[in-house]
A and B are shown apart, each in its own frame.
Chain A
Amino acid sequence: MPAAAQTVELEIGIAGETVAGAWNPLRLTLNDVPPAQLELRFDDGSLRGGPRIARYHANVPGGSGVTVFEDDVFVPRYRTMSWHLANEQRVYASGSLGVRDADARALDLLLSADPGRWRGAFAADARPVDVTGPQLVDRAAAYDGVRTLAIDGTSAAPRLEAVAAAAAGGVRIVLVGTLPASQADLMLLTGDLAPARPGGLVGARLGAGTVVRSADTVADLAEAITASAIVDRASMTAALASDPLVSPPAPVSQALLLSLAGGFALLVLVLVRFAGTPGLVATTVLVAIVAVAAWQFLRPVAPVLTATRTAWLGGGELALKVGVEEVLTLPAGTVDLPVSARTEPPLPYLIDGTGTHVMLGRWSAASLVLRPSLAPAALRFDGLSLRNAGRLPLTDVYVIGLGPQGPLMAGSSVVPAPTEEGAAPPLYTRMAALLPEGSALARSGDDLWLALPNTLAAVGVEP
C-alpha cells in the first residue's frame, strides 16, 4: 500500500476567521507528521519604530496517524504574520498572512442550515460568519473576539458545553425560534425566567454573556441582538489596568553614594599611607564591611516586582476571570511569568509551554492581560438575594444604585437594600461605569468579584 502523504492544516480563529486584537482558537491537524514545534510570529511594529514581534511556540506531539493540537492564541493587530512547523530534521509546513487579513471586527456567528436568511439581522458593518456545531470549542478564551452566536436549530446540534463556554466568555447567545427536541438542552441555559414585562426579552445571564430567546423572524432576531447588552470586556480590562499596581522603589540619592564613597576613599588613603601592614589588613576588612553593608541596605528588595489584579465577572453560577499582572523589572532582561498572557501596551514577547516571556528595559514596567478563563462564581444573585458561594469572606460589598452593603461571610446571603451612598473606591467607580444598574461588586484580597443581576430588564434592555 502506498504511504499516506504527510499533511499539515493550521486554522486560527473560528471557522478560519481570525479576529485581530483578541484571543483566537488555534487548531493544528497533522497526518503522519513526527513531533515538531509550531512557531507563530506576529509583527505589529511600524516603519518608524521597526519590527515588534510577538511569538508563540508550542510543542506538537505528532506521530503516525492523525494528531489534532488545539490551543488559544492572542492575535495582535499585526502587519505581517508567519508560521512554520518544524523539527530538527526539516520544515513540514509554513505560511504567512498580510495586514489585509488582520480584521479587528468581532464575529457574529450563525449556526444555521440557512444562514443567509439571518444576515439581515446584523448591522451593515458586522462580520457574520457561518459555523457548524463541531467548530464551536468549549474554551471561553476562544470567544474573546466573538460578539453574537445565533442558533436556529436547523443544523447539527452544538455541544451544550461549547455554547455555555461562549456565553460565559461574554458572547450574546440568541436561540431563534423553537429549537428541535435534539437541541432542547440549550433551553436550559435561558433559565425559567419570565420576561420582565409582557412581550419583553426572555433570557438569562451566564458568566459575562447572556442567553436570550427570540421569535423566528429576522426583525425579532435583530431586536434581540440590539436589546441584550453585554459587558464590554476590553473596557473592563482597561479599567482594571488603568492605575499602576506596582510602584518602583525610590532611587538611591547620588549625594549619599558620593558621601559614602568619599569617606571610604579618605580612610583607605590614610590607612595605606600611615599604618603600614596593619593598615593593609584594616583596609581589607573595611572593604568587606562596606561592600556587604552597601549590598544589604542600598539594593532594592527584589529585582522583579509583580502584582496581580483579577476581576471575576459573574452572571449565574459561572464567572469569567479577567486578570492583569503588572511586572516591573529593575535590571534589563527577559521577565518570565508562568501564565499565558498578552502585553498591554504591545511589546515583544514569547508565549510557550512554560508561560509568557517579555523583553523589558531596565526599570521598566509592563502590564500583562491574562488569558480569560472560567470558574464558579463566588458572588452571585440568588433570586433577590446576593450570596457568597465561595470559601472566603467578601468585603466592601457594593451594589450599583443601592450603595455599600457591608461584608458578606462565606456561604451567607443578604438582600441588598438602599443605604446611604458613600464614596465608592476609585476602582469600583471605574467598573460601575461599565456594569448595568443592580450589579454587585466585592473584594476578596486582591480579587474583585462582580455579579451581574439576573434579570435582563435591569440592564435597561426593555424596548
Chain B
Amino acid sequence: MNVLSAVAERIGRNDMVQVLALYLAVLLIVLATRWPTAALPLNESWFALAPARTASLALIALGFGAHHSGSAVIEQRMSVLALGFFALASAPFDVLSYAASYPSTPLVWSLALPFLSTLAYFGVGLGLGRLASLARARLLLPVLVPAVLAGGIWFDIRLNTIVFNPFTAAVEPSVRHAVAMAVIATISVLVLARRGVQRERAAP
C-alpha cells in the first residue's frame, strides 16, 4: 500500500470523514453568517472565514494529536497527512472569500498558515497526550485539548502579541507566529521521523 492509498484509507474512516464533514459544515455556517458591518455593501466573508478555518484546523489537529499520542507511528503519520488534506480541501473556501473580500493580508499567508498550524498543533497534541498518559489523566483530554488552545490565546491576549492565537494570526501576518509554528512543526516532524527510525531499528 503506497502513501496515497494509506492516506485515502485513513481519511475514509468514519472518525475522519465525520470530522471533515463537521469542519466543512462549520465553514459553510461561517460563510452564511453575515455580521453587520459598515454601511458600505462590502463582502466581509473572508474576515470571519479565515480565522474560523485556521482555528478549527488547529483544534482538530490538537485533538487528533492528543488522541493518537499512544498509537503506532504509521497511524500518526497518516493522521497528520489526512489533516493536511483537510487544509487542502478547505483552501477553495479561503480563495473564494478572499477574492470577494480582497483584504490586505497576502493570499499566500492565508493559504500556507493552515498547513503550518495543522502540523504544529498536531505535534502539540502528541505532547499533550503523552503528558496526560504519564499523569494518568487521558480521560481529561476532551477538556485539556480546548484548554490548551484557549491557554495559547490567553497568553497572546495578555502579552498583546501574536504567537499562538490562530484567530488573529489568520488575518494579521505575524513573524512571531510563523516562527513559533515553524519551530513546533519542525520538532513534530523530527519526532515522527525519529520514532519511525527507532521502531525500524528495534524490529528484528
Contact (Cβ within 8 A) A287 B8: no
**A379-420 contact mask (Cβ, 8 Å, vs B): 1 or 0:** 000000000000000000000000000000000000000000
Contact (Cβ within 8 A) A251 B4: no
Q: Does B5 contact A (CB under 8 A)?
A: yes
| B107 nearest in chain A by CB position | A295
Tell whether A277 pairs with B43 under 8 Å between CB atoms, given A257-B97, A362-B104.
Answer: no
Contact (Cβ within 8 A) A261 B99: no
| A266 nearest in chain B by CB position | B24
Task: Give the total of A residues in contact with B, Cβ under 8 Å.
Answer: 38
Task: Kindly state the separation between the CA atoms of A122 and B18 in the bound complex, as whole angstroms.
Answer: 85
Tell whether A281 pairs with B4 under 8 Å between CB atoms, given A268-B24, A363-B42.
Answer: yes
Contact (Cβ within 8 A) B20 A269: yes
Task: Kindly state the separation between the CA atoms of A265 and B40 in the bound complex, as whole angstroms.
Answer: 30
Contact (Cβ within 8 A) B24 A333: no
Q: Does A262 contact B (CB under 8 A)?
A: yes
**B5-44 contact mask (Cβ, 8 Å, vs A): 1 or 0:** 1011101100001001100110110011010000011110
Contact (Cβ within 8 A) A294 B28: no
Contact (Cβ within 8 A) B102 A330: yes
Task: Kindly state the separation between the CA atoms of A182 and B119 in the bound complex, as whole angstroms.
Answer: 85
| A254 nearest in chain B by CB position | B34
Contact (Cβ within 8 A) B28 A258: yes
B175 to chain A minimum Cβ distance, whole angstroms, is: 18
Contact (Cβ within 8 A) A251 B28: no
Q: Does A279 contact B (CB under 8 A)?
A: yes
Contact (Cβ within 8 A) B45 A257: yes
| A281 nearest in chain B by CB position | B4
Task: Kindly state the separation between the CA atoms of A137 and B4 in the bound complex, as whole angstroms.
Answer: 76
**B117-138 contact mask (Cβ, 8 Å, vs A): 1 or 0:** 0000000000000000000000
Give the segment of B84-92, B144-152, B184-192 that binds chain A: B84-92
**A165-183 contact mask (Cβ, 8 Å, vs B): 1 or 0:** 0000000000000000000
Task: Kindly state the separation between the CA atoms of A259 and B101 in the bound complex, as whole angstroms.
Answer: 17
Point out the residues of chain A lying under 8 angstroms from B24, CB to CB: 265, 268-269
Q: Does A245 contact B (CB under 8 A)?
A: no
Contact (Cβ within 8 A) B104 A333: yes
Point out the residues of chain B lying under 8 angstroms from A258, CB to CB: 28, 31-32
Task: Kindly state the separation between the CA atoms of A295 and B88 in the bound complex, as whole angstroms.
Answer: 16
Contact (Cβ within 8 A) B40 A363: yes
Point out the residues of chain B lying under 8 angstroms from A300, CB to CB: 102
Point out the residues of chain B lying under 8 angstroms from A332, CB to CB: 103-104
Q: Does B178 contact A (CB under 8 A)?
A: no
Q: Does B100 contact A (CB under 8 A)?
A: yes
Contact (Cβ within 8 A) B9 A261: no
Q: Does A283 contact B (CB under 8 A)?
A: yes
Q: Which of B32, B43, B98, B104 contacts A251 (CB 8 A)?
A: B43
Contact (Cβ within 8 A) A277 B4: yes
A407 to chain B minimum Cβ distance, whole angstroms, is: 40
Point out the residues of chain B lying under 8 angstroms from A297, CB to CB: 99
Tell whether A272 pairs with B12 under 8 Å between CB atoms, given A257-B100, A277-B5, A300-B102.
Answer: yes
B99 to chain A minimum Cβ distance, whole angstroms, is: 4
Task: Kindly state the separation between the CA atoms of A258 and B9 in the bound complex, as whole angstroms.
Answer: 29
Point out the residues of chain A lying under 8 angstroms from B183, CB to CB: none
Point out the residues of chain B lying under 8 angstroms from A330, CB to CB: 102
Q: Does B72 contact A (CB under 8 A)?
A: no
Contact (Cβ within 8 A) A251 B27: no
A62 to chain B minimum Cβ distance, whole angstroms, is: 37
Contact (Cβ within 8 A) A331 B102: yes
Contact (Cβ within 8 A) B100 A295: no
Contact (Cβ within 8 A) B28 A273: no
Q: Does B179 contact A (CB under 8 A)?
A: no
Contact (Cβ within 8 A) A260 B96: yes
Q: Does B95 contact A (CB under 8 A)?
A: yes
A328 to chain B minimum Cβ distance, whole angstroms, is: 11
Q: A264-B92, A290-B96, A298-B96 are in contact. List 13 more A-B contacts (CB 8 A).
A: A251-B43, A252-B43, A257-B43, A258-B32, A261-B27, A265-B25, A276-B5, A280-B85, A291-B92, A298-B99, A299-B100, A362-B42, A362-B103
- Contacts A/B (CB < 8 Å), 17 sampled: A258-B31, A258-B32, A261-B93, A261-B96, A264-B93, A272-B11, A272-B89, A273-B17, A280-B4, A280-B8, A283-B85, A290-B95, A294-B92, A294-B99, A299-B102, A333-B104, A362-B104
| Closest CB pairs A-B (n = 9) | A331-B104, A298-B99, A252-B100, A299-B99, A290-B92, A265-B24, A330-B102, A291-B95, A277-B8
User: Which residues from chain A sit less than 8 Å from chain B, CB to CB?
Assistant: 251-254, 257-258, 260-262, 264-265, 268-269, 272-273, 276-277, 279-281, 283-284, 287, 290-291, 294-295, 297-300, 303, 330-333, 362-363
